[in-house]
Structure 1
Amino acid sequence: MSRSVFEAMSILVVDDSAYMRHLLMTLLQALGVKEVHLAIDGDEALALLQTSEPDLIITDAAMMPMDGFSFAHRLRSIRGRALSMIPIIMVSGHTDIASVERARDIGITEFLSKPISARSLYERLIQVIDRPRQFVEAPTYRGPDRRRRDRPFEGQDRRNTVALI
């Protein structure tokens, strides 16, 4: 019997919908994830992160009282702890360009649109594992490198050098 690449992972699922928490947990367990933690909103997730550091976080965008955007922003704002660099997959039914750009700009690693499927979740997990992006810390941004190109860009609009962690 072959082992799952996800077997050793610990994943935190943050969603205010009991249905979505259960669905994500079931899909993750079917993929071989042994350790799945659940939180009903960003506040509960931040409290849980005081005692555990998962390998990955999957969060819904629209939750109350603290939504996924605020949660991710607060997580990325933590200084001096590896906790702030945990990959985050955001799940949302709001897939307009403004929402996706907002997620990108606060440091979301991957974006997964609803309705989700086992395949789409698997693809995002593999993307995080097989193609991890360097973590960037700049005055106006902290999170995974937003560029996905493997080749360097040389040109008039090239950004200045930033610190890679």
Structure 2
Amino acid sequence: MTESVFGKISVLVVDDSAYMRHLLLTLLQALGVNEIHLAINGEEAWELLNSKEPDIVITDAAMVPGDGFMFAKRLRSLRGRALGMIPIIMVSGHTDLESVERARDIGITEFLSKPISARGLYERLIHVIDRPRTFVETPTYRGPDRRRRDTPFEGTDRRGSIALL
């Protein structure tokens, strides 16, 4: 039997819904993820991050107390630690343009709309593992490059180079 490409990664799932935590746990296990940590909200996840450093975070957008946006923003604010650059997949039933743009603008790596499917989760995991985007740090943004295509840029590079560590 061959080992899953996801067998060596660890994933933190943050969701206040027991049903969604169980669904994500089951899907991740079916995909071959061996190390999965569960948290019921951003505060519990933050405490868990003191002892575990997962490779990927999957968080729900709407949680009480403290939603996934606040948790992701707090993660992105970590400087000088790998956790600040961890890939974050946000799961949400709110797929309006404002919610998706808000997720993008706080540094969410991938967005997965509900109802989720095994294929959708698989594709997001492949994107963050096999096709990672360059991490960008500016005075107003910290997260993966929001551009999906590698197209030549003509003009002045306003970002310049920034050392991450």
The whole-number CA distance in structure 2 between the counterparts of 1:147 and 1:129 is: 17
Match of 1:59 in 2: 59
Match of 2:90 in 1: 90
1: CA distance, partners of 2:163 / 2:72: 19
How much is the aligned-residue C-alpha RMSD, in angstroms?
Answer: 1.2
Residue 38 of structure 1: aligned partner = 38
Q: Deviations 1:67-123 (Å, cap 9, x if unpaired)?
A: 000000001001211111100000000000000000000000000000000000001
- Matching residue of 1:109: 109
Aligned pairs for 1:1-165 within 5 A: 1-155=1-155, 160-162=158-160, 163=162, 165=164
Instruction: Output one character per residue of 1:10-30: Cα deviation in whole Å (capped at 9) or x when no partner.
Output: 000000000000000000000
Q: CA 1:98–1:49 in structure 2 vs 1: closer, same or farther (change >3 Å)? A: same
Tell me if the contact between 1:10 and 1:33 (Cα under 8 Å) persists in the aligned partners.
yes
Q: Residue 138 of structure 2 contacts residue 159 of structure 2 at CA under 8 Å; is this kept in 1?
A: no
Q: Determine what percentage of the aligned residue pairs are the same residue.
A: 76
Count of residue pairs brought into register by the alignment: 163
| Equivalent AA in structure 2 for residue 16 of structure 1 | D
TM-score, normalised on structure 1?
0.95
Gaps of 5+ in 2: none
Q: CA deviation at 1:152?
A: 2.0
Q: Counterpart amino acid of 1:161?
A: R
* Structure 1 runs (4+) greater than 6 angstroms displaced: none
Between the aligned partners of 2:150 and 2:136, the Cα distance in structure 1 is 15
Deviation at 1:164, TM superposition (A): 6.5
Q: Deviations over 1:97-153 (max 9, x none)?
A: 000000000000000000000000001001111110111111001111111111222
Question: C-alpha offsets along residues 49-78 of structure 1, whole Å, 9 cap, x if unaligned?
Answer: 011100000000000011000000001001
Contact 1:134 1:164 in 2 (8 A): no
- Aligned mates of 1:35, 1:123 — CA distance in 2: 19
- The secondary structure found in structure 1 opposite 2:150 is coil
Deviation at 1:39, TM superposition (A): 0.2
Q: TM-score, normalised by structure 2?
A: 0.95
